[in-house]
Amino acid sequence: MSLTVVGTMAFDEIETPFGKSGKIIGGSATYIAWAASNFVQPINQVSVIGEDFPKAELDALTAKGVALDGVQVKKGEKSFYWSGKYHMDMNTRDSLATELNVLADFKPVIPESYQGSEFLILGNLTPQVQMSVLDQMKERPRLIVMDTMNFWMEVALDDLLKVLKRVDVLMVNDGEARQLSGEYSLVKAARKILEMGPKYLIIKKGEHGALLFFENHVFFAPAMPLDEVYDPTGAGDTFAGGFIGHLAKTKDISFENMKTAIIVGSAMASFCVEKFGTERIREVSKGEIAARIEQFVQLVNFDIDLV
Amino acid sequence: MSLTVVGTMAFDEIETPFGKSGKIIGGSATYIAWAASNFVQPINQVSVIGEDFPKAELDALTAKGVALDGVQVKKGEKSFYWSGKYHMDMNTRDSLATELNVLADFKPVIPESYQGSEFLILGNLTPQVQMSVLDQMKERPRLIVMDTMNFWMEVALDDLLKVLKRVDVLMVNDGEARQLSGEYSLVKAARKILEMGPKYLIIKKGEHGALLFFENHVFFAPAMPLDEVYDPTGAGDTFAGGFIGHLAKTKDISFENMKTAIIVGSAMASFCVEKFGTERIREVSKGEIAARIEQFVQLVNFDIDLV
């Protein structure tokens, strides 16, 4: 089994300047699985849901090669729920409601069938939960990628720093990189964070693209300029799913291949924002993905022969 | 004579979180000339200065191959003066003082020796002044590039729209593109602006890079991630100077070569912000420029063989 995904499976209710989503499926592990399953199957999903989580969604994931042995279903409980409203610029949002429900005492259990996974991605969860997953892996995966958020830097920094020492790739956004490092310059921030444990750091800048730092190297991938960003929810997780999916497919964890993986992740994220929630990424075809990646090549490709 | 540059030559006084510049040399034509002269000489400068403008600066420009026949010196008058203070994020600034002085009734005169210029760049000035330059060119240059700003969209939109019909490349920042088009999406904004006259549109996004639009094509160049941005003043004009300098040097105005020119412009701008004012771009060597351009190649280059 090659890729294990740990994160939330949840309900979201989203309002953007373009409309309201109603109650739809969300969650970091959901987005990661939908994106990554285009590149590698099976995917070993680790999450927790309530009795209210629709069977149709679980069936759809199963059909995409997502194993659900590690997804706990809590009888008589409700799934994690988040609602939020985006501002006109789509870069900022207000959380309207956050109901942890089943997430409040989530204790992930890694099924025996998931052991031996070569790739592991830890979606944004409490550092304690992330650590518990690492502790349960009998054999260290070849590559461990983690996401986190500013909230854990504020309430669980010590635990977060412990997890950081055990992962290979950290993914954060620009604000989080600044908060974690205390440096405004992203170059200086990256230098400090790479001393905290991870060998690779990805700084996501939303519509402004993403940076990959490794030793003294830096790689930049733009976001695809789009007519409209309809809903940015899940774009970061979709990016993560495309990134780890490409690496798990190619089994090549060199810096060079991570660059390509970042482009793949950016391509997947560019689909995600075109519709509400997972709507676009659950229908996207391999042909569309290949065409979008080719658009990225055109977007950044230039002739270096300067005469 | 191949490149004519029209714009301001002025005094700036800048405050950033890193310090105060004191009264230093600035102006759009100054930055453009310093940047472009690394690629093409002579440069035909068109501007206006007061008696207070230092002879040493004029001599330095002359030594860099900048012809000053088109620079009017107004006896007993003072040069254009601007002072401003940058906020901590370096993306926003407050103007503390703007004294037009000689600029108030600037009537550019194109010397006979400048006629026949193949390349023309109109720095940010009133649209009437830009139009007057176009009217004086006996033969239309092969490529006309113009800059402008939000202020002219507010107070001289009709004139601005007339100039737009006569240029090949418009350079604006993201906020200006949105204001001019009435569209928030930069892709939609570009589509509208390209219908206003220019064949090419460059949207500058500061630390977030620049976009080049042409027909249905789009190219993106990142800004170089730097340890510190010391002073962003003049970065846009330096970018413009590198861009037009490379085009004038290569005499190739294809879309493909414009992509390379944008990378050259981005490289020059990345030097500009490293020190106050023109300090860094007046000392930069050809070797440093070549090395910086190679860094841009490394920054965005990825392997597209997706297996």
Q: Which residue has the higher pLDDT, B8 or B301?
A: B8
Beta strands in A104-253 (DSSP E): 119-122, 143-147, 169-173, 200-204, 210-214, 217-221
Chain B partners within 8 Å of A257 (Cβ): 303
> How is chain A split into domains, by residue range?
3-300
The per-residue pLDDT for B305 is 64
Contact A204, A171 (CB under 8 A): yes
A226 and B CB contact within 8 Å: yes
Question: Which candidate, A69, A79, A67, places its Cα nearest to that of A36?
Answer: A67
Q: Which two tokens stand for residue A69?
A: 């042995």
The per-residue pLDDT for B83 is 96
**Nearest-angstrom CA–CA distance, A77 and B71:** 78
Percent of chain B with pLDDT over 90: 93
Among A222, A260, A299, beta carbon nearest to B303: A260
Question: Which candidate, A219, A233, A234, A284, places its Cα nearest to that of A93?
Answer: A233
Q: Which two tokens stand for residue A105?
A: 């005492």
The per-residue pLDDT for A305 is 64
At residue A306 the predicted structure's pLDDT band, cuts being 50, 70 and 90, is: low
Q: Which two tokens stand for residue A111?
A: 């099924």
Chain B partners within 8 Å of A260 (Cβ): 302-304, 306
Contact B220 A218 (CB under 8 A): no
Q: Which residues contact B116 (CB under 8 A, 6 or more apart)?
A: B1, B138, B139
Over residues B41-50, the mean pLDDT reads 98
The per-residue pLDDT for B10 is 98
The per-residue pLDDT for A91 is 76
Contact A226 B300 (CB under 8 A): no
- A288-298 per-position pLDDT tens digit: 999 999 999 99
Judged against a pLDDT cut of 70, whether residue A307 lies above it is answered with no
Mean of per-residue pLDDT scores for chain B? 96
The per-residue pLDDT for B111 is 97
A104 and B CB contact within 8 Å: no
- A16-52 per-position pLDDT tens digit: 988 999 999 999 999 999 999 999 999 999 999 999 9
Judged against a pLDDT cut of 60, whether residue B306 lies above it is answered with no
- B220-232 per-position pLDDT tens digit: 999 999 998 999 9
Helices vs. strands in chain B: H and E counts, helices first: 10, 13
Chain A partners within 8 Å of B262 (Cβ): 302
The per-residue pLDDT for B260 is 96
Coil, strand, or helix at residue A292? helix
Judged against a pLDDT cut of 50, whether residue B251 lies above it is answered with yes
Judged against a pLDDT cut of 50, whether residue B307 lies above it is answered with no
A109 and B CB contact within 8 Å: no
DSSP code per residue over B152-194: HHHH-HHHHHHHHTT-SEEEEEHHHHHHHHT-SSHHHHHHHHH
Q: Which two tokens stand for residue A92?
A: 């900022």
Residue A306's identity, in one-letter code, is: L
Contact A302 B263 (CB under 8 A): yes
A-interface mutation test, from B249, B302, B306, most A Cβ less than 10 A away? B302
Lowest mean pLDDT among A6-10, A228-232, B188-192, B215-219: A228-232
**Nearest-angstrom CA–CA distance, A51 and A54:** 8
Residue with tokens 């003294």: A216
The per-residue pLDDT for B199 is 98
Among B186, B300, B304, beta carbon nearest to A220: B300
B221 and A CB contact within 8 Å: yes
Write down the ipTM of this complex: 0.91
Mean of per-residue pLDDT scores for chain A? 96
- A65-80 per-position pLDDT tens digit: 999 999 999 999 999 9
The per-residue pLDDT for B207 is 92
Contact B212, B171 (CB under 8 A): no
The per-residue pLDDT for B37 is 97
Question: Which candidate, A46, A11, A32, A97, places its Cα nearest to that of A281?
Answer: A32
The per-residue pLDDT for A89 is 77
Q: What is the CATH number of domain A3-300?
A: 3.40.1190.20
Among A188, A220, A221, beta carbon nearest to B227: A188
Contact A306 B297 (CB under 8 A): no
B298 and A CB contact within 8 Å: yes
Among B205, B225, B246, beta carbon nearest to A187: B225
- B84-123 per-position pLDDT tens digit: 999 887 778 899 999 999 999 999 999 999 999 999 999 9
Lowest mean pLDDT among A171-175, A186-190, B85-89: B85-89
Among A187, A225, A307, beta carbon nearest to B250: A307
Lowest mean pLDDT among A156-170, B82-96, B193-207: B82-96
Among A185, A211, A225, beta carbon nearest to B227: A185
Other Cβ atoms closer than 10 A to B87: 11
The per-residue pLDDT for A88 is 79
- A124-154 per-position pLDDT tens digit: 999 999 999 999 999 999 999 999 999 999 9
B178 and A CB contact within 8 Å: no
**Nearest-angstrom CA–CA distance, B200 and B247:** 14
Contact A299 B219 (CB under 8 A): yes
